[in-house]
């Protein structure tokens, strides 16, 4: 079946489990990127999952400054618990932050949620065209 | 209301900063929660400072057990928020020194009982007047001043904001500032009713996708925000992250919520 929803993951080791769960979710095509060049070479996704502990918060800033990614939803992954560090991610443009390590028991459900989120955004964008 | 939320209202943390967002047409829910907060404080010998619109004074005084006696003893004092706002803003600006002088003087009129005073509970709605006048940054600045004052004194605070969380024109960006200035967002009505209403609306609009989206919303983390009931958290997440569908869901959720609250 042709995947309907594209998710771009920019992650290190901490996102590996989520990446696996997403790859097994139906109807979701997952691209993995290591850095900025990879991101720009990937097809435009419906959602970006960004491991900011791997990329640095400035990557999110760069992503938001790029015209193609200005309004693409970004789910930030981080292991940092400090409220100020997480709030900074929201200020830089993250739509949602998830704390790592993610609960292994909930991993598949969260991956399905990301797929659904991508599908809803894709449908909303199609309706707005 | 869930007993855990009743405890948050009756026994706020020493420097707790509660906020209730309520529908103006259902002001009774604010009066009920605020007077619960007042009465428990007075019962413990705490002082009470109420800065509210004059029209609310009577309801607050009537529904707070022990209030009249506390006023006679000098343990409780009521101020008109509109009048106080006029004294706080000078030359169109809100300055800390002015706030400290005006609110500090009002606080000094309240004398908690005992040699080791247990502190003061305050209620304020000046922020609501500012919010509804679209003076969002001034409202948030005022919240920050209250927070500064809280760290210096044995003071907890309860704020009331009349806004419709279902409204299409709700200003989400300044709302972040409000939610980040408080320790707890207390539910207006039954916290379960809002959650059920939103769940039903999500299922009606999104079908089976609603259930799969829920774990993602649940896992989302916003520690700077006040602790709040799940229903409010889900409603706010939807508003911020699902433009378009959000309005449809919130319109239906509002209908369900009104029906559930009327039961």
Interval B104-147: pLDDT, tens: 999 999 988 866 767 999 999 999 999 999 999 999 999 999 99
- What is residue B184's DSSP assignment? E
pLDDT band at A21 (very low <50, low <70, confident <90, very high): confident
**Å from A75 to nearest chain B CA?**
9
pLDDT band at A2 (very low <50, low <70, confident <90, very high): low
**Å from A95 to nearest chain B CA?**
6
Whether pLDDT at A22 is above 90: no
Q: Indicate whether B134 and B47 sit together in one domain.
A: yes
Q: Indicate whether B11 and B92 sit together in one domain.
A: yes
- What lies within 8 Å, CB to CB, of B50 at 6+ separation is B38, B57, B60, B76, B77, B78, B79, B122, B123
| CA nearest to B252, candidates B228, B240, B235 | B235
* B214 has a chain A CB within 8 A of its CB: yes
In a domain, B173, yes or no: no
Choice among B40-49, B115-124, B238-247 with the minimum mean pLDDT: B238-247
- A50-98 residue pLDDT tens: 999 999 999 999 999 999 999 898 999 999 989 899 999 999 999 999 9
Q: Indicate whether B19 and B106 sit together in one domain.
A: yes
Helix (H) or strand (E) holding B33: helix B27-43
Q: Indicate whether B38 and B80 sit together in one domain.
A: yes
Which of B188, B222, B252 is the C-terminal boundary of a domain?
B188
* B180 has a chain A CB within 8 A of its CB: yes
- B2-27 residue pLDDT tens: 888 899 999 988 889 999 999 888 89
Task: Report the number of distinct structural domains present in chain A.
Answer: 1
Q: Which of B209, B210, B211, B245 is most worth mutating to test chain A (most A CB atoms within 10 A of its CB)? A: B209
In a domain, B172, yes or no: no
- B41: buried, middle or exposed (CB in 10 Å: 19+, 13-18, 0-12)? buried
Whether pLDDT at A127 is above 70: no
Taking all residues of chain A, what is their mean pLDDT, rounded to a whole number?
87
Using a CB-CB cut-off of 8 Å, the residues of chain A touching B214 are 113
Q: Indicate whether B136 and B208 sit together in one domain.
A: no
Of A15 and A71, more confident: A71
Using a CB-CB cut-off of 8 Å, the residues of chain B touching A116 are 206, 209, 212-213, 216
CATH number at residue A70: 3.40.50.2300
Q: Which residue of B has its CA nearest to A89?
A: B222
Whole-Å CA distances, B11 to B5, B41, B117, B237: 10, 8, 16, 28
Q: Domain range holding B247?
A: 192-262
- What is residue A15's DSSP assignment? G
In a domain, B171, yes or no: no
Taking all residues of chain B, what is their mean pLDDT, rounded to a whole number?
90
Q: Indicate whether B102 and B229 sit together in one domain.
A: no
Among A20-29, A54-63, B243-252, the range with the most confident prediction by mean pLDDT is: A54-63
In a domain, B170, yes or no: no
Partner residues linked to B17 by β-bridges: B157
Task: Report the number of distinct structural domains present in chain B.
Answer: 2
CATH number at residue B155: 3.40.50.300
In a domain, B247, yes or no: yes
Check CB contact under 8 Å for A86 and B221: yes
Distance of CA A48 to the CA centre of its chain: 3
Q: What does the CA dihedral B32, B37, B42, B46 come to, rounded to 10 degrees? A: -160
What values do phi and psi take at A97, rounded to 5? -120, 135
Q: Indicate whether B29 and B95 sit together in one domain.
A: yes
Q: Indicate whether B20 and B113 sit together in one domain.
A: yes
Residue A129: what pLDDT?
A: 47
In a domain, B96, yes or no: yes
Q: Indicate whether B119 and B199 sit together in one domain.
A: no
The structure's pTM equals 0.86
In a domain, B143, yes or no: yes
Check CB contact under 8 Å for A98 and B221: yes
Q: Domain range holding A109?
A: 5-128
Q: Indicate whether B47 and B127 sit together in one domain.
A: yes
Distance CA B263, CA B44 (A): 34
Query: Helices B27-43 & B3-10, crossing angle to 10 degrees?
Result: 60
């Amino acid at each position: 079946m042709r995947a309907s929803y594209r998710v771009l993951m920019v992650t290190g080791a901490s996102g590996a489990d989520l990446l696996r769960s997403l790859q097994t979710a139906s109807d979701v095509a997952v691209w993995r990127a290591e850095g900025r060049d990879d991101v720009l070479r990937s097809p435009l996704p419906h959602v970006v999952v960004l491991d900011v502990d791997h990329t640095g918060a400035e990557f999110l800033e760069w992503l938001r400054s790029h015209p193609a990614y200005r309004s693409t939803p970004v789910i930030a992954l981080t292991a940092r618990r400090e409220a100020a560090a997480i709030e900074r991610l929201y200020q830089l443009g993250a739509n949602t932050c998830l704390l790592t390590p993610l609960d292994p028991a909930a991993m598949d459900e969260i991956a399905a949620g990301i797929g659904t989120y991508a599908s809803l955004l894709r449908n909303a964008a199609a309706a707005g065209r | 209301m869930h007993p855990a939320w009743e405890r948050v209202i009756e026994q706020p943390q020493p420097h707790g900063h509660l906020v209730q967002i309520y529908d103006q047409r259902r002001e009774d829910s604010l009066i009920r929660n605020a007077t619960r907060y007042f009465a428990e404080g007075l019962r413990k010998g705490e002082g009470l400072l109420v800065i509210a619109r004059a029209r609310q004074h009577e309801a607050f005084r009537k529904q707070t057990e022990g209030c009249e006696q506390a006023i006679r003893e000098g343990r409780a004092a009521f101020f008109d928020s509109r009048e106080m706002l006029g004294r706080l803003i000078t030359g169109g600006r809100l300055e800390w020194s002015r706030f400290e002088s005006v609110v500090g003087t009002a606080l000094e009129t309240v004398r908690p009982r005992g040699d080791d005073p247990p502190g003061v509970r305050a209620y304020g709605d000046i922020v609501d007047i500012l919010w509804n006048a679209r003076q969002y940054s001034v409202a948030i600045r005022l919240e920050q001043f209250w927070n500064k004052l809280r760290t210096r004194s044995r003071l907890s605070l309860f704020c009331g904001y009349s806004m419709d969380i279902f409204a299409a024109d709700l200003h989400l960006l300044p709302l972040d500032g409000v939610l980040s200035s408080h320790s707890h967002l207390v539910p207006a009505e039954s916290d379960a009713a809002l959650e059920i209403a939103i769940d039903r609306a999500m299922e009606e609009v999104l079908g089976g996708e609603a259930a799969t989206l829920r774990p993602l919303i649940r896992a989302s983390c916003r520690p700077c925000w006040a602790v709040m009931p799940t229903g409010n958290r889900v409603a706010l997440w939807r508003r911020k992250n699902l433009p378009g569908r959000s309005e449809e869901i919130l319109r239906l959720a509002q209908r369900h919520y009104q029906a559930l609250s009327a039961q």
